[in-house]
Structure 1
Amino acid sequence: MKKVNTFLILLMIASGFMVSCTHQTKENNDATTIAMKGDPASETKTAVPIMTFAETKFDFGTVTEGDILKHTFSFTNTGNAPLVIVNAKGSCGCTVSDWPKQPIAPGETKEMRVAFNTNGKPNAQNKQVTITTNTTAGKHILKIKAMVTPKAKSLVSGAPISK
């Protein structure tokens, strides 16, 4: 009799575990199904700014050393949240940029001006401006290039010939 009672007690405990595991699995399956189907009440559209440029590259062509080249890049916030430009840094000290410091509203178009000082930079030049923003990408690159014709040098002193 003692063996039968012990067996019945163990059987009840095992049944209890099986029922509780089955119940937990059912709940997990229901949660997975909801997650896969999507819960319209909990779904929200995330507000994200998107920086869209009319162009990201510009070629100044052939220029004379000493020229200061300027180009304006136009961009639009095509996202659904304000766009913030944190920084815009040139690849060297000869390349500088000027950008809007205030947040740019969705749908708004603004400009970023880039200047390149060719003094002391003869021959082919490829420069870039790295823009840090609050977009998903976080960084955007603008590229400029030019073929810089060197200044003529004096044969006597090595100094440029004045015009």
Structure 2
Amino acid sequence: MKKLVLIACISLISFAAAAQAKISFKTDTVDYGNIAKGSDGVRVFEFTNTGNAPLIITDVKSSCGCTVPKKPDGPVAPGASSSIEVKYDTNRVGPIRKTITVYSNADEPIKALKIKGEVLEEGKSVLEKTG
């Protein structure tokens, strides 16, 4: 009986070790390009769980308060896709260079994503941009 319980425990541990979530992003950088002050600052990072276990995103943090990320609700099943929404405060004129850090149970538990671009002053076009 003890041997049977031991074999069952080893089998369960082996199976659990083999089951792994894996996060694959379409892109790890979103380029806003040149955008006008006050324009829509919402962008999306799309991803798929390419592993064989449910993917759980435990937290998503930004490198500053001007960028607000939103993680998906609940686990993402193997083979399923979801997204992380990022909202940048486009009332801040100047270059955008921010990092969004994703924490999950994936084989790569910490993943850095980037946003970049530039917010132009009202009334300025891309052609008038200096600098």
Normalising by structure 2, report the TM-score.
Answer: 0.75
Q: CA deviation at 1:106?
A: 0.7
Match of 1:126? 97
Query: Number of matched residues?
Result: 111
Q: CA deviation at 1:68?
A: 3.6
For structure 1, the 5+ residue unaligned runs are 1-40, 153-163
For structure 2, the 5+ residue unaligned runs are 1-9, 124-131
Indicate yes or no: 2:58 matched with 1:86.
Answer: yes
SS at structure 1 position matched to 2:77: coil
Distance 2:71 2:80 in 1: 14
1 or 2, which has the higher helix percentage? 1
Computed over aligned residues only, the root mean square deviation of the Cα atoms, in angstroms, reads 2.0
Match of 2:41? 69
Equivalent runs, 1:19-98 vs 2, <5 Å: 44=14, 46-98=18-70
- Out of 114, 124, 135, the residue aligned to residue 86 of structure 2 is 114
Match of 2:106? 135
Q: CA deviation at 1:66?
A: 2.6
1:71-125 deviations in whole A, cap 9, x for unaligned?
1111110011110000111111111122212111111111111110121x22211
Amino acid at match of 2:78: P
Identity of counterpart residues, as a percentage? 36
1 or 2, which has the higher strand percentage? 2
Amino acid at match of 2:113: L
